[in-house]
Structure 1
């Protein structure tokens, strides 16, 4: 727990630093993609290319606000809580922090839970040469956009936007941290049938969390009893996670967990915005296998 306390103290410091930054200073561009400047750096990306992955690492990839913290919590329960181990007091997000954090991750015992928001094309080459099993989490684009908008509103580490309308325009252009949602989805669609890739939808997790946990455990070859799966599902409910957010995420918890709902986009999208997103989906993902998994007509049509 000492490591966790240090982590929270560090979070307080970076929040203080962020408050002094302008909108533009909170972002930087690396290889043509925007990233949060307080959390990421060119030095870290270069160090990450040399990071030594292991074949038994549990890698989870998600576009921001697609269920990252929720899925991380579930993976941590699978690996640590069920076996009565203390989880490491390190942020598992690979691109966040300094190269010294990667050195500490290198000293962790296997299996390690590692997480990233990076576009598939910018993942370190070892992810592919070592054939890491990779869990990819997506959420329908309309709810994702609304969740990301609120995340920007509440998170001092991210630039602010004057209105939902302003943010929607930026989101649709892909000029947001970690790049275009649609670019991420298109890249993973090309590898949706790879045997070491499992793509799971936020909406499917909401609909049947027990089934999703069983699927994830089977994919990573983690053997769980029915009772253990049910316990992980109970601990992984949004209500439980939000209630414990300060304990688990320190000062960041209050803006990481908001609603966790499906369909909240209907409270924000104008008819014109909805049609614009429909057209973007049609152009980029309609008829693709990942598009089918998203059930766009179910979750993104009023």
Structure 2
């Protein structure tokens, strides 16, 4: 019964995506974003009704929630989450993972019908999470990436994504990124807010670079955070399916018509191909101002990954 419901949900989602693509072709870049409670969101993916529904979402204590600023490894960890949850539930892992702010009331109904552990995510920071996530102490895994690679990945993503505004150039995008005038606002504002909660028992922060260094160790760490005991074989299998190449090869199935641009390079250090020396110095100064001396700043290993 659940698989039939999932198939119907997927078919409906495909229809909605096609409708959004048609509508996007009629919009100007400045119409592609809306501001809600002071933060920018993609207008077509996050209409006001969805954002109001997001605030009312009814979390469960046993849910698995991912929070990540865009292009910090969200889709990568989504795949790991899905496979971890499938191993725990002993199912085929084909259930779609939902980004909450993209979801209307009908999608929330589907999520409410799922047995635990449910898996879902958001690009919002702690202070914008649904109140029920905080009240019920739902465990939240937060994924961060070094800001230079994040900016470059976000730029390329926006240039290719038909439902996001693109920029005239990398230089223009960099200015918008540093000013927080991109969807989901400022990377550094998000980082500062999560830094305040880095020691909360229901929050765990993991980095893109940490997963690149040791994916098997990362999978085990995630499973243990959610209280799951997986065998060595299960962990190795999840890590094998979660490599960049495996996910890229499977992207059409997991990400539908958008699969061809969700997975670009999957490397660390790509920022060197776009950043000018002046931009690099500006980012260094911003990091020093916001995150130097913090626990999150230390986890990001900025000197290792962001200094030429």
Same-fold call, TM > 0.5? yes
Aligned to 2:25: 19
Aligned to 2:35: 29
Distance 1:17 1:89 in 2: 27
Deviations 1:14-58 (A, max 9, x none): 222212211011110001110001111222222222221111011
Distance 1:60 1:247 in 2: 21
Structure 2 residue 61 is matched with structure 1 residue 55 = yes
> Normalising by structure 2, what TM-score?
0.95
Distance 1:89 1:10 in 2: 18
Alignment counterpart, residue 196 of structure 1, candidates 196, 202, 209? 202
Of 222-231 and 272-281, deviating more is 222-231
Distance 2:37 2:69 in 1: 18
CA drift of 1:90 comes to: 4.3
Deviations 1:166-185 (A, max 9, x none): 10000000001001000000
CA drift of 1:87 comes to: 4.1
CA drift of 1:163 comes to: 0.7
Aligned to 2:293: 287
CA drift of 1:12 comes to: 2.6
Deviations 1:175-223 (A, max 9, x none): 0100100000000111111111110000000010001001000000111
Q: Would the aligned equivalents of 2:97 and 2:119 in 1 still touch at CA under 8 Å?
A: no
Taking structure 1 as reference, are residues 87 and 21 closer, same or farther at Cα in structure 2, changes over 3 Å only? Answer: farther
> Normalising by structure 1, what TM-score?
0.96
Of 27-36 and 74-83, deviating more is 74-83
Of 73-82 and 30-39, deviating more is 73-82
Taking structure 1 as reference, are residues 146 and 69 closer, same or farther at Cα in structure 2, changes over 3 Å only? Answer: same
CA drift of 1:2 comes to: 2.4
Q: Which aligned runs of 4 or more in structure 1 are off by greater than 6 angstroms?
A: none
Distance 1:99 1:179 in 2: 25
CA drift of 1:7 comes to: 2.7
Distance 1:142 1:248 in 2: 27
Aligned to 2:3: none
Alignment counterpart, residue 266 of structure 1, candidates 228, 252, 272? 272
Deviations 1:123-178 (A, max 9, x none): 11111111111100000000000000000110000001011111000000000100
Structure 2 residue 284 is matched with structure 1 residue 278 = yes
Q: Would the aligned equivalents of 1:153 and 1:161 in 2 still touch at CA under 8 Å?
A: yes
Secondary structure in 1 aligned to 2:143? Answer: strand
Secondary structure in 2 aligned to 1:156? Answer: coil
Structure 2 residue 194 is matched with structure 1 residue 149 = no
CA drift of 1:8 comes to: 3.0
Structure 2 residue 246 is matched with structure 1 residue 246 = no
Distance 1:29 1:82 in 2: 39
Distance 1:92 1:251 in 2: 16
Structure 2 residue 241 is matched with structure 1 residue 235 = yes
Secondary structure in 1 aligned to 2:100? Answer: coil
Q: Would the aligned equivalents of 1:95 and 1:116 in 2 still touch at CA under 8 Å?
A: yes
Q: Would the aligned equivalents of 2:78 and 2:97 in 1 still touch at CA under 8 Å?
A: no
Distance 1:295 1:268 in 2: 20
Structure 2 residue 141 is matched with structure 1 residue 135 = yes
Distance 1:12 1:246 in 2: 15
Aligned to 1:171: 177
Distance 1:182 1:241 in 2: 28
Alignment counterpart, residue 116 of structure 1, candidates 103, 115, 122? 122
Of 262-271 and 76-85, deviating more is 76-85
Q: Would the aligned equivalents of 2:88 and 2:228 in 1 still touch at CA under 8 Å?
A: no
Secondary structure in 2 aligned to 1:222? Answer: coil
Q: Would the aligned equivalents of 1:7 and 1:90 in 2 still touch at CA under 8 Å?
A: no
